[in-house]
Every structure is written in C-alpha cells, then in structure tokens.
Amino acid sequence: MTFRPGTRGLAVLAVGSLALTACSAGSLGSSDDAGGSSVEITYLIGNQEQDLKEAQQLSKDFTAKNPNITIKIETRPAGSEGDNIVKTRLSTGDMSDVFGYNTGSLFQAIAPDKNLVAITDEPYIGDLDENFTRTVKSGDKIYGVPSGGFMGGAVLYSIPVYTKLGLKVPTTWAEFMANNAKIKAEGGGVAPVIQTYGETWTSQLFVLGDFHNVAASEPDFADKYTKNQAKYASSPAAVKGFEHTQQVHDLGYQNKDFASAKLPDGLKMLATGKGAHYPILSGVVNDMVATNPNAAKDVGLFALPGDDASKNGLTVWTPGGIYIPNTTKDDKLEASKKFLAFVASPDGCKSLATAGVPTGPYAVKGCELPADVPQSIKDMQPYLDKDGGSSLALEFVSPVKGPSLEQITVEVGSGIRKGKDGAARYDEDVKKQAQQLGLAGW
C-alpha cells in the first residue's frame, strides 16, 4: 500500500547506509554552547539529491545563528538497505548524533522508547501540527521534528477547463462526477479523469486519498482495521474508494491510453488541458511545473470528495522526521537539540524553501509558504488550517499494509475486477503482513 513515485517524502523509505559521505556544513552553534567552545555533531540523511540540498541549506543557515556548532553531514542509500543500516546502527550504539528517518508505522519499528531521546518538553512542540506529532509519538512522548511539508493525496485539476465550462470545485463525489459528465459531454478531446496505469502506483489514489472520508465517517476504522475488526470490503465507507475507481472506468471518463500512460504523460495532459482531473500526490507538482511552467498557475488542487460536503477534507502524508538517538554524547546533546529546534521554526522552514519548492504546507505553526509556490500547493493550505479539514493517510495510523494494492486497483480501474471484489482481495492481501508483524487478532 506504499506509493513508489520518484518523489521523496512518501512512505517510501528514504533511509540510508554507511556509505557515509561527509559534507561539512561549517560551524553552527551559539555563544552559550559548551561554554563557548566549538562542538561538531553528525547528521545522517538519505542520499537523494534533494535530501542533500536540504541538509546542506539547513546546516548553512543554522551555522549563521550558531557559529560554535559544526554539522557534519553523512549520507546513506534509500530503500530496505538503508532501513536495515539505520536499525543496525541504532542497535549497536553507532548512530550519528542526529538522523533523518520515516514517520508513522515505520518510525515505530525502530523502537523509539528504547533508542531515541524524547523532546516532548521542548518549548516548540506546541507549534507542531498534530497530524505530524501523531506520527512521531510513542505513548505520551514525542521524538521528532518535521523535515519539510505535507503532501496531499488529492485531485489536481485544470483551471482553464474549469473556467471555460463554468465548473465549481466539488466538495462531494456526486458533484465531482457531475463535473466529469459535463466535461465528457463537451467533447473536444479532454479526458475527464487522467489515469496512468503504465506506472501502477498511480492507480491507488481513489482508495488511499479517500481515507479522510473514511475516517470522517468511521473514526475508529484505523484502530479496528489494525485489530482485524474492520475490512475494506465490509466497511460502507472504506469500500467506496474501490467502487469509485470502478465507476470512473465504467462511465468512460478515463483517457483512452490509461492502460499504458505513465506519470509524465498524465502531468503533460493536465498541464496542457488535455485532461481535466488527475488523482495523484501533490509531490509530483514540482516535476510537472519543471517541464510545463504554465502549470504553476493553470493547475489547482482539491481534496478527494466524499459524500458529505460538511466533512470535506484532505488526506495527507507527513514529512519525514529528524531524531536524536539516546547514544548522542552529553557534550553534543544540547547542540543536537538546538538543531532540531531550528528545523522546527519559521527560520527552518525558510531554509527548506530555499533548498527547493515545498511539496505542501509546513507542519510548523508560523511557517508560511513562499508567495511564488504553484497554485496547487497553495490550495492545500486551507485544508490544513481548517479544524477537521485534514486526516493522516491510513499508513500513518495503522501498520497494516499489503503489497498488491496497486495491482488490484489497476484491475478495478481497467474493468477486470469489480470494486467490491477488489476490496475483498485487498483484505486478503494484508493478512500475511499483519501476521508477520505479530498483530493481535490476525
């Protein structure tokens, strides 16, 4: 159930290895650090280009405020190799002073109570978005700060198409489908809904991006799902994601080449007005704008709508976390805490924005998106600002996942399998992993 696009920040592992590339960031500290003496802390990050850019920028800007602390950046590969190395380094007491890692269920897998320093009492904790702190919390203790912005599982839409046809942004599924009907009736070669099953991970949005609506309808679904007391096929709310995937296909709303089209094709269709809607993650926006600059103003975003307009909201994926292992020496602990405090501040957000366009609103109060971010990224902010306007994706509130969701949603979205049948198949798909995790009730 994990997305695998080429963007960072999903629940795809961005964890790394001991191929430690050291990049000194200059001295970073304050006059009261270690009595004014200099101290060096190490910061372990993923080896993706954007990860390195952000780490270097954070270190540079932190240096300017803390001239007595030096940050030495170390990198490690992504995926399971890096995941294993992070766990090994924690278990052997050989972890860097500060490190970046996943949030949610994968965070729980590194035994935070045993391996990490709690930051629950730090003064900035109240400024962190609750959607984020839920994903770096064990018991009543909080362990990490956010490194970046949220991503939304939503619908990107063509503003010129909406303007031409006089359409309004939908807040219910019925309104969304009515818009699709108008777009199809208008003709002109515009596909109402873009699907790109040539990259199977992109087929999952109608299911995973719908979780805010599931949680709004069944608030205890995630807890019951984890305990094997709730199923996609038998939940009136959860099954709708599969049924909606089928409905869009059955009504002929997809682009004709949906079976072979890939992500770049879908982004181009949207940016050029050849497609009206693309259910996808906001993390792809930067790639779209890079190849189609007009998309910065011509493409907007709205949350995947459900049945109740009053509960309309956005399903979000949280940014990764930055943590301090409990093996960090006392003489480096305060410097490490200062670095986390900087990251979790408006200055830290500005630093991250300097390194690259945000994937969505920040998880820190007081952090504002730059004025020149694409319109679709701006459109996410009201959902985060509204009480009850956003919910975490299921993978952040339940460890139960299955490997075959993207194949199942391709089948449903291609007319090979009915929606409810797809939901039942996915319920079977998650069993093995739940049993491997030793979860009660499975």
Burial per residue of 52-89, b for 16 or more beta-carbon CB atoms within 10 angstroms, e otherwise: bebbbbbbbbbbeebbbbbbbbbbbbbeebbbebbbeb
Instruction: Output the pTM of the full model.
Output: 0.85
Residue 374 forms part of a structural domain? no
Q: Are residues 261 and 322 in the same domain?
A: no
Q: With the C-alpha atoms ordered 318, 322, 325, 330, is the resulting torsion angle positive or negative?
A: negative
- Identify the CATH number of the domain in which residue 337 sits: 3.40.190.10
Residue 15 forms part of a structural domain? no
Q: Are residues 163 and 145 in the same domain?
A: no
Residue 1 forms part of a structural domain? no
Q: Are residues 137 and 222 in the same domain?
A: no
| Strand-pair category, 69-76 with 39-46 | parallel
What is the extent of the structural domain holding 247? 151-316+389-436
Residue 36: what pLDDT? Answer: 60
Residue 283 forms part of a structural domain? yes
Instruction: List Cα–Cα distances, 133 to 45, 139, 278, 344, 388, in angstroms.
Output: 20, 12, 30, 12, 16
Burial per residue of 395-433, b for 16 or more beta-carbon CB atoms within 10 angstroms, e otherwise: bbbbbbbbeebbebbbbbbbeebebbbbbbbbbebbeeb
Residue 11 forms part of a structural domain? no
pLDDT digits (tens, 9 = 90+) for 12-68: 333 332 333 344 444 333 334 434 689 999 999 999 888 899 999 999 999 999 999
> Are the C-beta atoms of 29 and 69 separated by less than 8 Å?
yes
Q: Are residues 309 and 323 in the same domain?
A: no
- End-to-end, the C-alpha distance of the chain in Å comes to 18
Q: Are residues 30 and 142 in the same domain?
A: yes
Q: Are residues 290 and 415 in the same domain?
A: yes
Bridge partners (DSSP) of residue 154 are 280, 303
| Strand-pair category, 191-193 with 275-281 | parallel
Residue type (1 letter), 349: C
Residue 440: what pLDDT? Answer: 93
| Count of the separate structural domains present in the chain | 2
Residue 99 forms part of a structural domain? yes
Instruction: List Cα–Cα distances, 102 to 8, 313, 328, 339, 340, in angstroms.
Output: 11, 24, 19, 18, 16
Q: Are residues 96 and 54 in the same domain?
A: yes
pLDDT digits (tens, 9 = 90+) for 189-231: 999 999 999 999 999 999 999 999 999 999 999 999 999 999 9
Q: With the C-alpha atoms ordered 356, 396, 171, 420, is the resulting torsion angle positive or negative?
A: positive
Q: Are residues 286 and 323 in the same domain?
A: no
Q: Are residues 309 and 209 in the same domain?
A: yes
> Are the C-beta atoms of 277 and 193 separated by less than 8 Å?
yes
Nearest to 252 by CA among 158, 183, 164, 160: 183
**Tens-digit pLDDT string for the chain (442 aa):** 444 443 333 333 333 323 333 444 443 333 344 346 899 999 999 998 888 999 999 999 999 999 999 999 999 987 778 888 899 999 999 999 999 999 988 898 899 999 999 999 999 999 999 999 999 999 999 999 999 999 999 999 999 999 999 999 999 999 999 999 999 999 899 999 999 999 999 999 999 999 999 999 999 999 999 999 999 999 999 999 999 999 999 999 999 999 999 999 999 999 999 999 999 999 999 889 999 999 999 999 999 999 999 999 999 999 999 999 999 999 999 999 999 999 999 999 999 999 988 989 999 999 999 999 999 999 999 999 999 999 999 999 998 988 899 999 999 999 999 999 999 999 999 998 899 889 999 9
Q: Are residues 348 and 205 in the same domain?
A: no
Q: Are residues 296 and 268 in the same domain?
A: yes
Instruction: List Cα–Cα distances, 312 to 15, 132, 238, 278, 381, in angstroms.
Output: 34, 20, 15, 18, 14
Q: Are residues 296 and 157 in the same domain?
A: yes
Residue 2 forms part of a structural domain? no
Residue 233 forms part of a structural domain? yes
